[in-house]
Structure 1
Amino acid sequence: MAVKVIIFDFDGTIADTYYTFVEIVNELSTEFGYKPVTPEDLDRLKKLSSREIVKQSEVSLIKIPFLLKRVKEELSKKISFLNPFYGLKSCLLQLQLKGYTLGIVTSNDQENVQEFLFNNDLDNFFEFIYSGTTLFGKHKVINQIIKQYNFSRDEIVYVGDETRDINAAKKSKIKMIAVGWGFNAPEALAKCQPDALINEPHELIEAVEKCNDDFLEILLVD
């Protein structure tokens, strides 16, 4: 079945939140008892998987949900200053005009996402927004969406910027396009073997169409 539905991650994929996220994490370092992140740390951390970053952090697993909650709260205060990645809006418009259904799955608060989309004139592109997922539980939300909308797994592509996004897509058995402009560096993403890896927003449409081309090739071979 050809691709009909494109599900996007939010932070680092649509919204350029990386450095704001780092700023907030550093502001909360005293409250949660860890060292602030340095520029040298950033270069190293971007090359690690999401799970490796959690393991190397000085925050206990028990505190991580509380830290994430505080990050979301602080992010809500800065959301009006954030922008989408350059060129992404044009890509979303083209995908919508081609008839794709677009949606969002995020661990950010839905209010943050909706405000960001409204502020940047992106609110008319997305048919659904699912938020509040746990750090490594996106596959469960994706599965809920598939069940609720009666989607076929073959008609979905997930677009995200972290290794955990790739793993979530694999667990849900859907195609995955990794983007190299967000939280994880391209080399870290490549190790997880997404279906496609792109480095600029303008490459997104071609990557989606390639997923359809691969499907047609399978039909022709069969």
Structure 2
Amino acid sequence: MSHSILQMKMVPGIHNAFKEIHNLGFRLGVLTSNSRDNVKTFLESNDLTDVFDFIYSEKNIFGKKTALKRLLMHEKISKQNVIYVGDETRDVEASKKAGIPVIAVTWGLNNKQILTSAQPNHIIDAPEELLACIKNM
């Protein structure tokens, strides 16, 4: 996987969206079941290491909700100060169970129709919409 991580392409517009959000003072982090090294390599190869404050990697047999709660405890973050951005229905479900607002993005694993059925707080179709959505939450 580490070799293929370098072949992965970013969604057009997401790099600028991350930079803008970071420059406004928001903390950005990654919650993943992928290895920390893979994520770090991807961020380095896309000039984003200075944008993300943390990478939390956990292969959790208890599910994403538990991983999300552990991340909040580990990083000492109140759920009132978090907005989760995800591309799968399980992201939406975990966030809702944890009491965290969630923005679903349609450029990832699940399509808009499937994501809509999970009832996220917001759903966006392009990275350029992310900052405005965060500001309005």
- Specify whether residues 135 and 148 from structure 1 end up closer, same or farther in structure 2 by C-alpha distance, changes over 3 A only: closer
Displacement of 1:82 in angstroms is 1.2
The residue aligned with 1:91 is 17
The 3-state SS of whatever aligns with 1:159 is: strand
**2:117 is aligned with 1:184:** no
Inter-partner Cα distance in structure 2 for 1:112 and 1:134: 17
User: Superposed, which structure 2 residues align to 1:138-157 within 5 Å?
Assistant: 138-157=64-83
- Do structure 1's residue 101 and structure 2's residue 27 form an aligned pair? yes
- Residue 203, structure 1, aligned to residue 117, structure 2: no
When the two chains are superposed, the root-mean-square deviation of aligned CA atoms in Å is 1.3
Q: Deviations over 1:63-88 (max 9, x none)?
A: xxxxxxxxxxxx22211111211111
Identity %: 36
The aligned counterpart of 2:94 is 168
TM-score, reference length from structure 2? 0.94
1:121 is aligned, of 37, 47, 56, to 47
Write the deviation string for residues 11-55 of structure 1: whole angstroms up to 9, x where unpaired: xxxxxxxxxxxxxxxxxxxxxxxxxxxxxxxxxxxxxxxxxxxxx
Deviation for aligned residue 1:145: 2.2
Preserved contact between residue 60 and residue 66 of structure 2 (Cα < 8 Å):
no
Which gives a bigger RCO, structure 1 or 2 (Cα 8 Å, sep 6+)? 1
Matched residue SS, 2:6: helix
Unaligned runs of 5+ in 1: 1-74, 212-222
Summarize deviations over 1:149-194 as a string: whole Å, max 9, x none. 3322111000000000001101211010000001100000000100
**Structure 2 regions of 5+ residues with no counterpart?**
none
Q: CA deviation at 1:116?
A: 0.6
TM-score of the superposed pair, with normalisation by structure 1 = 0.59
Task: Return closer, same or farther for 1:124/1:89 CA change in 2, 3 Å cut-off.
Answer: same
* More helix by percentage: 1
Deviations 1:96-139 (CA, angstroms, capped at 9, x unpaired):
11110100001111111111110110111111101133376121
> Contact (CA 8 Å) 2:58, 2:67: kept in 1 or not?
no
Instruction: Work out which of the two has the higher radius of gyration on C-alpha atoms and give 1 or 2.
Output: 1
- Secondary structure at the residue paired with 1:129? strand
Aligned AA for 2:90? R
Is residue 134 from structure 1 mapped to residue 78 from structure 2 by the alignment?
A: no
Question: Would you say how many aligned residue pairs link Structure 1 and Structure 2?
Answer: 137
> Given that residues 107 and 135 in structure 1 are in contact (C-alpha distance below 8 angstroms), is that contact kept between their aligned partners in structure 2?
no
